[in-house]
Structure 1
Amino acid sequence: MSIFQEIAFKAELDRHLDPECEYQARIICEEDSTTRDRVVQELRNMIYERGECHPPRMDDAFLLRFLRARLFIPARAHRLMVRYCTFREQNPHLWRDVYWYGLTRLDNIFEGVLFDRPDVGRLIICRMGKWDPNEYPVEDLIRGCLLLLEVGIMQPKLQVLGGTVIVDCEGIGMKHARQLTPSVALQAINVMGFTFPIYQRGVHIVNCSRLFEKLFYVFKRLAPSDEMWQRVHFHGYDYNSLHRYIDPECLPKRYGGYRETVTVKEWLTKIKKYKNKEFDEDLRTLGYAVDE
């Protein structure tokens, strides 16, 4: 591993908003440093006054995640917070007492590219065909996705830039399809943008046959909004189609790009190496099991 990759891994726990990110926050999130504190307090007051949700945290850093995901509009950030808290209350099994580092067992399923660009954000890849339903329950996929997001948005940079998802269907068969029930599909939809405080730039489905594309469309009726579904793009086996949305500079070589991927095991192992007490406390507050 190169020294540049090691520096990139250390930066995964950076909680500072550098000047470049401050500029991007102003452009992408409409965040104004001169009014930031006032808007955060406005959101906090709204949560207390309306009493529609009980967030696990109420500090500025946590509330900023929701404001950045909703163009710094308190009312929209509040609606997102309510959905986030409701989802947590309805699905406690997805994180309560889940040992975060234990999700390295999903190593061959989730990957990422540590090359974050304003038009793409963080690229996360889910290789569904690598999942063995006989080895891990489908809920583990949702748990893995949630953990990637929760740890990722500890970085202000990723709160600002957001993310893009590639779902690679190569190798998917009927044994996988049988596990994708409407309730699981709804959980996945919620995690990928409707209830989670992240700017979801797009979901791109590749190596998908017409049969499974039709299956995805069956789940369309579960999508909470048409706007959300408009960010889902099917490319079949045509990587040129994918390149119209994602510059090859940001893509792994597998998809006609130039980047190396980082597996979830590599990523979480480095996170564990460089983490601190603040990281442990953040995950503990969310309900995850952490190292004692």
Structure 2
Amino acid sequence: MVGRESWTFQEIAFKAEMNRHEDKEAEEEAFILCGEDPATTARNIVELRNMIYERGECHPHRLDDAYLLRFLRARRSVPARAHRLLVRYNNFRDQNPHLWRDIDWFGLTKLGHVFEGVLYDRPDVGRLIIGRLGLWDPDEFPVDDLIRGCLLLLEIGIMQPKLQVLGGTALLDCQGLTMKHMRQFSPSIAIQAMNVMGFAFPTHQRGFHVINCSRVFETLFHFFKRLAPVDDLWKRVHFHGNDLNSLHKHIDPECLPKRYGGQRDPISLAKWLTKIHQYKNKDFDDEMRNLGYSVD
């Protein structure tokens, strides 16, 4: 019976990934987490849209209210900050079309368990996304596919108003990571990865945690950090070595997979994309096509 209940919960959660409706009950969370006040939201959207027209620093593929709102939510509802993020996001897309254009999004199921998620979204953690780079075989697919997979997770996730508000927490598990892996991370790849972390993506980044990492990786990380812009994001990066107790001080075990001393069963990118493909609709296809992805 427990197994059946778990299966039913998962199916409900997968179907909810297609939810594009604003939840009135989430207004308090939006105010606390994103500084969003229903009395000023419409005015902030208009101000952001006017900035786009007047400054001409970017040319977004969408300018509707729902689209601009995700950038405001990612920057505490401050139009000027949201505009800077929008410019970064569009510049990133313009400079890296190979990460989106004509990519078969469903084909990224090949990444398997390299990326996982926990479909247990709480206000203090948001959506937990896990990267297990040690499971990646550089001989099987290029490092660009890692960036593509992470971007895909974010692009699909950020379509949900709920996740725009709750944001997400990233957990990078370095177990099994070797020099063969690390040699793939050139400065340009590192900059792309840091842009995905939050510098150039409209996500409410709650924290970035690194577990099972060696001193070599930590040193390499801090070297690449110098290439990135100064940002408050760095205050939310935490290295835990092999210490699960340290990790638990930041992420409640209730939200973590069992392998990290938690209570959850994570969902692989392969399974998640398979379920997205199962429950997707015309609106989803249109959104993906507008982003540049190949849609069947």
TM above 0.5, one fold? yes
SS in 2 for 1:116: strand
SS in 2 for 1:33: coil
Tell me the distance in 2 between the aligned counterparts of 1:215 and 1:78. 31
Q: Deviation string for 1:104-126 (max 9, x for gaps)?
A: 11112000000001110000000
2:67 to 62, 67, 87: 62
Q: 2:236 aligns with which of 227, 231, 239?
A: 231
Alignment of 1:144-183 (within 5 A): 144-183=149-188
Task: Quote how far apart the aligned CAs of 1:223 are.
Answer: 2.3
TM-score by length of 2: 0.96
Deviates more, 1:12-21 or 1:250-259: 12-21
The count of aligned residue pairs is 291
2:289 matched to 1:284? yes
Identity of aligned residues (%): 69
Deviates more, 1:25-34 or 1:263-272: 25-34
Structure 1 Cα separation of the partners of residues 195 and 206 of structure 2: 15
Query: Which of the residues 240, 254, 261 maps onto 2:266?
Result: 261
Of 242, 251, 267 in structure 2, the residue corresponding to residue 246 of structure 1 is: 251
Whole-Å separation in 2 of the counterparts to 1:55 and 1:226: 23
The two structures, once aligned, show a CA RMSD in angstroms of 1.0
- The answer to whether 1:52 aligns with 2:40 is no
- Which letter does structure 2 place at the counterpart of 1:25? A
Q: How far 1:30 moved relative to its partner? A: 1.3
- Runs of 4 or more, structure 1, over 4 Å off, are none
Residue 22 of structure 1: aligned partner:
27
How far off is 1:35 after superposition? 2.4
Paired with 1:84 and 1:125, the residues of 2 have a C-alpha distance of: 22
Q: CA deviation at 1:19?
A: 2.7
Q: Is the 8 A contact 1:153 1:198 kept in 2?
A: yes
Separation in 2 of the partners of 1:166 and 1:219? 18
Distance 1:207 1:88, change over 3 A: same
Mapping of residues 43-122 of structure 1, within 5 Å: 43-122=48-127
Deviates more, 1:33-42 or 1:101-110: 33-42
Matched, 1:219 2:205: no
The 10-residue stretch of structure 1 (18-27 or 90-99) with the greater mean CA deviation from structure 2 = 18-27
TM-score by length of 1: 0.98
Shift of 1:226: 4.6
Give the distance between the partners of 1:118 and 1:17, measured in 2 at CA: 16
Q: Residue type of the partner of 1:43? A: L
Aligned residue identity for 1:23: E
Q: Are residues 226 and 47 of structure 1, via their aligned partners in 2, closer, same or farther at CA, if it must alter by over 3 Å?
A: closer
Match of 1:271, as an amino acid?
A: I
Q: Deviations over 1:107-165 (max 9, x none)?
A: 12000000001110000000000000001100000000000000001000000010000
**Which blocks of at least 5 consecutive residues in structure 1 are unaligned?**
none
How far residue 33 of structure 1 moved from its aligned partner, in angstroms, is 1.6
Distance 2:39 2:218 in 1: 47
Equivalent residue of 2:66, what SS?
A: helix
What amino acid sits opposite 2:177 in the alignment? Answer: I
Contact 1:223 1:229 in 2 (8 A): no
Unaligned 5+ runs, structure 2: 1-5
The answer on whether the counterparts of 1:97 and 1:288 sit within 8 Å (CA) in structure 2 is yes
SS in 1 for 2:226: helix
Other structure's SS at 2:17 match: helix
2:40 corresponds to which of 24, 31, 35: 35
What amino acid is aligned across from residue 275 of structure 1 in structure 2?
K
One-letter identity of the residue aligned with 1:14? N
